[in-house]
């Protein structure tokens, strides 16, 4: 059987307080992807709708979206793996196409987080952890990742200044990404200024500037069989490697606190399937829900040895001109993190990079790109390798 | 008159806010009442579980026995929250942490009487039962003597 390609990508702007309903939000990402693919809704054989549950009143959004987007009577379903939902959606689309069941599948991710308060949202995010044994202690995502930051700093000497440098890079590119939520420059001085909001404590050692923000957004990928991809598209981007893994939801079941096992396992699978090594990757999108997460990702993906992730950011090797450009669209830290839409946005960026259409974010002639998308606190991990 | 079936919802007493009330390891709460933090061990294969489980995924047995989390655990990592999810604001600031007991690990809170500057990764701590002001029960990590 042949290859599977991505023939259309789209996303809404990521914003606070989207002034519309979830179906209207979904339409924005879908429309851009469909215009990019230059196909019509009848060309789509099935749709997979992805988000993290409990932010909306609407149960089972797949049917509602399929109708609004003109995708009935084709089959549709809802899929979630928290923040990595769209990457998992792409994996499912790949298997639906490889099996021969469908030729063209739309993967649509969305999240409208602004309908609830930030504290309520933290509570829901916290309940993406173990609600029986951990949530009763008052957990939230920044606190969990902060434990990983603390362990990494202790073992490898990673500094708060290194974390700030990740945010500074993120802001460099957030400023040139018209879809990003935060488009202002950030300096390391802001982190050392106790009066500046960026330095405000959230959960030690993480500060406000170390954390991504909630956002509303949608993203969409149009995935097609090799034959359809070549019929419809002048410039399909091929799925070369897919990796996915899961880990213990309870931190008591984890052996590693200086990296994410799911990322390491998913990366290994994806590299093997694609027949490439970390040095072959020309551009990457990693799940920087927190600054420390990007440093962990450098190491888990093999861009740096364990403990040496900080050197990559200090030497600016992950900037656009560096050895391995990472998150040159601003990442989650600048774009905002509308959970179910994030993976699709990361994949969109890599597709645009490989097509040479990333505008001010374009790196020089990349041939192979990688997407690292994590759900929960390293609960789910997806790594996707794409090529021209 | 229909007889109301009594629901064993002891687990609602766990933590500041419990999101679960019914579980087949509800005895965990009775042990907390007695001042003991307990895990379970599979009677068939000996697999140790903390947090406690009613079922063994290795041999599919539901015959488990309780054991006490005793002695010292090593602090793997922690974080002190300065911002809390809904329902936990009155507890701020508090630290979540993981202790390594070798055969198992325990996730919980560090006792609020341990100042943050005295918390060092790798230090030995012990797990003790803690009663919250409203009568809810959890467990916390304290420094060992």
Q: What is the ipTM of this complex?
A: 0.95
Whole-number Cα distances in Å, A333 to A144, A173, A376 = 17, 10, 16
The H or E element containing residue B105 is strand B105-110
**Total residues found in chain B within this entry:** 145
What rounded mean pLDDT belongs to chain B? 95
Beta carbons of B16 and A138 less than 8 Å apart: yes
Superfamily of A4-116+214-232 according to CATH: Thiolase/Chalcone synthase (3.40.47.10)
List chain A residues with CB under 8 Å of B18: 136
Flag whether pLDDT at B20 surpasses 80: yes
Q: Give Dmax (Cα) for chain A.
A: 59
Beta carbons of A136 and B19 less than 8 Å apart: yes
List chain A residues with CB under 8 Å of B80: 203-204
Beta-carbon contacts of residue A210 (< 8 Å; ≥ 6 apart): A142, A149, A163, A164, A167, A202, A290, A291, A292
Query: What is the rounded end-to-end Cα distance, in angstroms, of chain B?
Result: 59
Beta carbons of A203 and B80 less than 8 Å apart: yes
Beta carbons of B11 and A147 less than 8 Å apart: no
Could you say which of A102, A152, A287, A337 is catalytic? A337
Residue B2 banded pLDDT, cuts 50, 70, 90: low
State residue A120's pLDDT score. 75
List chain A pLDDT tens, one digit each, 388 residues: 599 999 999 999 999 999 999 999 999 999 999 999 999 999 999 999 999 988 888 889 999 999 999 999 999 999 999 999 999 999 999 999 999 999 999 999 999 998 777 777 777 777 778 999 999 999 999 999 999 999 999 999 999 999 999 999 999 999 999 999 999 999 999 999 999 999 999 999 999 999 999 999 999 999 999 999 999 998 999 999 999 999 999 999 999 999 999 999 999 999 999 999 999 999 999 999 999 999 999 999 999 999 999 999 999 999 999 999 999 999 999 999 999 999 999 999 999 999 999 999 999 999 999 999 999 999 999 999 999 9
Separation of alpha carbons B49 and A141, rounded Å? 24
CA dihedral of A349, A350, A353, A355, whole degrees rounded to 10 = -110
Report the gap between the CA of B3 and the closest CA in chain A (Å): 30
Could you say which of A50, A83, A212, A289 is catalytic? A83
- As beta bridge partners, residue A207 has A201
Helical residues (DSSP H) of A19-84, grouped into ranges: 22-37, 61-68
Q: Which residue from B minimizes the CA distance to A121?
A: B85
Separation of alpha carbons A322 and A281, rounded Å? 12
Residues A105/A45, Cβ–Cβ less than 8 Å: yes
State residue B3's pLDDT score. 64
Q: What is the pLDDT of residues B67-110, one digit of tens each?
A: 999 999 999 999 999 998 888 999 999 999 999 999 999 999 99
Separation of alpha carbons B58 and A329, rounded Å? 44
Q: Which of B16, B51, B87 sits opposite A133 (nearest CB)?
A: B51
Go through A242-270 and write b for each residue having 16 or more CB atoms within 10 A of its CB, e for each that does not: bbbbbbebbbbebebbbbbbbbbbbbbbb
Helical residues (DSSP H) of A181-329, grouped into ranges: 188-192, 226-232, 261-274, 291-300, 309-314
The H or E element containing residue A121 is helix A118-126
Q: Which among A354, A349, A358 has a CA at the least distance from the CA of A367?
A: A354
Beta-carbon contacts of residue B34 (< 8 Å; ≥ 6 apart): none
Whole-number Cα distances in Å, B23 to A34, B11, B14, B69 = 48, 7, 12, 20
Q: Which among A70, A72, A27, A78 has a CA at the least distance from the CA of A48?
A: A78
A212 given a catalytic annotation: no
State residue A289's pLDDT score. 98
Q: Is the pTM of this model over 0.80?
A: yes
Whole-number Cα distances in Å, B8 to A71, A97, B2, B25, B31 = 47, 48, 19, 11, 15
List chain B residues with CB under 8 Å of A202: 81-83
Residues A372/A116, Cβ–Cβ less than 8 Å: no
Residues A352/A9, Cβ–Cβ less than 8 Å: yes
Separation of alpha carbons A381 and A263, rounded Å? 5
Q: Of A252, A255, A290, which to mutate for an interface test with B (greatest number of B Cβ within 10 Å)? A: A252
Residues B68/B38, Cβ–Cβ less than 8 Å: yes
Instruction: State the DSSP string of A91-113.
Output: HHHHHHHHTTS-SEEEEEEEEEG
List chain A residues with CB under 8 Å of B97: 147
Whole-number Cα distances in Å, B57 to A251, B44, B46, B103 = 18, 11, 12, 17
Tell whether A256 is within 8 A of chain B (Cβ): no
A337 given a catalytic annotation: yes
List chain A residues with CB under 8 Å of B88: 138
**Total residues found in chain A within this entry:** 388
Beta carbons of A138 and B81 less than 8 Å apart: yes
Q: Which of A139, A203, A257 sits opposite B76 (nearest CB)?
A: A257
């Amino acid at each position: 059987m042949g290859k599977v390609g991505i023939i259309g990508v789209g996303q809404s702007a990521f914003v606070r307080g989207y002034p519309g309903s979830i179906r209207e939000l979904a339409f924005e990402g879908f429309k851009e992807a469909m215009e990019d693919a230059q196909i019509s809704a009848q060309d789509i054989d099935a749709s997979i709708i992805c988000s993290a549950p409990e932010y909306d009143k609407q149960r089972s959004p797949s049917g509602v979206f399929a109708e609004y987007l003109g995708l009935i009577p084709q089959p549709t379903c809802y899929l979630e793996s928290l923040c990595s939902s769209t990457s998992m959606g792409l994996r499912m689309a790949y298997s639906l196409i490889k099996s021969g069941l469908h030729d063209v599948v739309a993967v649509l991710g969305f999240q409208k987080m602004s309908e609830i308060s930030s504290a309520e949202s933290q509570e829901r995010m916290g309940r993406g952890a173990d609600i029986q044994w951990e949530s009763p202690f008052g957990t939230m995502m920044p606190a969990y990742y902060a434990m990983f930051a603390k362990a990494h700093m202790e073992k490898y000497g990673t500094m708060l200044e290194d974390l700030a440098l990740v945010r500074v890079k993120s802001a460099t590119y957030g400023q040139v990404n018209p879809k990003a939520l935060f488009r202002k420059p950030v300096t390391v001085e802001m982190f050392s200024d106790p009066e500046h909001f960026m330095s405000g404590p959230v959960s030690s050692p993480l500060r406000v500037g170390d954390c991504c923000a909630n956002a509303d957004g949608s993203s969409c990928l149009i995935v097609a069989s090799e034959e359809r991809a070549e019929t419809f598209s002048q410039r399909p981007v091929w799925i070369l490697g897919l990796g996915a893994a899961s880990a213990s939801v309870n931190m008591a079941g984890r052996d590693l606190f200086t990296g994410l096992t799911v990322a390491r396992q998913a990366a290994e699978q994806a590299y093997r399937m694609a027949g490439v090594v970390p040095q072959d990757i020309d551009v990457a999108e990693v799940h920087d829900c927190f600054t420390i997460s990007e440093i962990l990702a450098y190491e888990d993906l093999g861009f740096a040895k364990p403990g040496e992730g900080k050197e990559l950011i200090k030497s600016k090797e992950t900037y656009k001109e560096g050895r391995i450009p990472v998150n040159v669209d601003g990442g989650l830290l600048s774009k905002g993190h509308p959970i179910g839409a994030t993976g699709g946005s990361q994949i969109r960026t890599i597709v645009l990079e490989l097509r040479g259409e990333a505008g001010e974010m374009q790196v020089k002639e990349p041939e192979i790109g990688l997407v690292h998308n994590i759900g929960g606190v390293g609960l789910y991990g997806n790594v996707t390798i794409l090529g021209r | 008159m229909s007889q109301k079936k009594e629901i064993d919802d002891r687990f609602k007493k766990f933590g500041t806010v419990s999101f679960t009330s019914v579980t087949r390891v509800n005895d965990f709460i009775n042990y907390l009442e007695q001042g003991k933090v307990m895990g379970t061990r599979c009677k068939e294969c000996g697999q140790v579980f903390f947090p406690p489980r009613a079922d063994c995924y290795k041999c599919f047995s539901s015959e488990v026995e309780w054991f006490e989390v005793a002695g010292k655990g090593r602090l793997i990592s922690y974080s002190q929250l300065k911002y809390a999810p809904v329902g936990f604001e009155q507890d701020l600031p508090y630290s979540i942490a993981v202790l390594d007991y070798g055969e198992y690990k325990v996730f919980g809170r560090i006792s609020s009487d341990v100042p943050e500057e005295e918390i060092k990764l790798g230090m030995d701590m012990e797990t003790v039962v803690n009663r919250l002001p409203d009568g809810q029960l959890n467990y916390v990590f304290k420094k060992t003597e």
